Amino acid sequence: MNKLLLLFLLFLSAIFSAQVLSGIVFSENNRPLSEVNIYLDGSKIHTLSDTNGNFALDIQDQKNAALVFHKNGFETFTVPISEVVGKKAKVVLLKIQEIEEVVLIPYTDEAYTKFIGYFLAQFIGIDQVNVKIKNQKTLKFSFDKKKQILKVKAPQTLIINNKRLAYQVQFNLLNFEADFKNNTVAYSGTSYFKETNPKKSNQVNRLNAYHGSLMHFIRSAYQDQIAEQGFWVNHIIKLDKDKIAPKEKALALIATKIPTSSFVKKVGNQKILEFKEVLQINYPKHYFAIKKSKIIKETSMVQQTSYIYIEGNSFEIYPDGNSSEPELMLLQGSLSGDKMGNFLPLDYEPIVD
């Protein structure tokens, strides 16, 4: 009798500890929308609305993620989960109105070949053998010859098969813009992950993708574990380039191995990334490998150096390695190489067996 009572209490505890977001999704003409992808951005937490537009999503212990509603042909809607917890959400998705700023290049083999290689290098990264976009021919390109700006649109959700990390990623590309004159690339989007039977080799690849990444750095900064995790941070300022180096970007190192408190501020229960000028992030990266069926950390290392600019902005960082507005963070160096081919879900934990 006592065992039955204990099991019953445990069952009730599991019910009340779960956080389930629920609601209904409509189109702008007030018709329920089925098969809307509803997920926490950057996670493996996902569901679909049913034939009546209803949905229920167990967000587990997530507190800071963005809840995304996406269906091909409709504008993506995103809302912080903190705004919908404890409420029954009613979401209206609007039909996409196609307005092109420049003439869209009609699909040809020549145009596709000309731009797809550049896009994949900037979006996927180096390993395009093991990381592939299943429906990449749905991409559309527009190019402003005068301004030398390339824009890429994705009318459909991109399905990315990452065999190296053993994930399938559904990525909703919201924006991709390459400015060839200023040599800058910016893109944004939302995503969710599915496991695809990971093996030990995939576990090693995940460890190598994580260590020294932006996710790793932000998690370390949030926990005030910068030094313990192997990072050291220097403070750099921009000099008056017109007087000192008119044709070059002049930077000066003013402080080395600065404490986390000099660039992460605690405001109530929040932690805010805030600093002036530039942070130089240094990380001695040791790679992981499999030897005698065990995962080991190699003794040899590669020194990684990166630079972070936030252009006068500040934003909140979270314990899972995410931030409130990641598009405000400008990266140079090793961290700028964190492309889709190395992206990990926000619940990833770097465990060595």
Enter the tokens of residue 56: 């229920």
pLDDT for residue 99 is more than 50: no
Which tens digit of pLDDT belongs to each residue from 18-60? 588 899 999 999 999 999 999 999 999 999 999 999 999 998 7
Q: What pLDDT score does 12 carry?
A: 38
- The residue ranking higher by pLDDT, 46 or 61, is 46
69 beta partners: 38, 77
DSSP state of 330: E
pLDDT for residue 245 is more than 90: no
- 3: pLDDT confidence band, cut at 50, 70 and 90? very low
Distance of CA 331 to the CA centre of its chain: 14
Q: What pLDDT score does 93 carry?
A: 93
Q: What pLDDT score does 143 carry?
A: 82
Task: Please answer whether residues 148 and 180 qualify as being in contact, where contact means their C-beta atoms are separated by less than 8 angstroms.
Answer: yes
Enter the tokens of residue 144: 């402003």
Mean pLDDT of all residues in 181-205? 91
312 φ, ψ (degrees, to nearest 5): 80, -5
pLDDT > 70: percent of the chain:
88
- 334: pLDDT confidence band, cut at 50, 70 and 90? confident
- Output the average pLDDT for the chain: 85
Which tens digit of pLDDT belongs to each residue from 66-89? 899 999 889 999 998 888 887 888
CA distance 281 to 302: 14
- 153: pLDDT confidence band, cut at 50, 70 and 90? confident
Q: Which helix (H) or strand (E) holds 176?
A: strand 167-179
Quick one: which of 254, 230, 251 has its CA closest to 304? 230
pLDDT for residue 332 is more than 80: yes
pLDDT for residue 242 is more than 80: no
pLDDT for residue 229 is more than 90: yes
How many beta carbons lie within 10 A of that of residue 299, not counting itself? 6
Mean pLDDT of all residues in 200-223? 96
Mean pLDDT of all residues in 249-273? 89
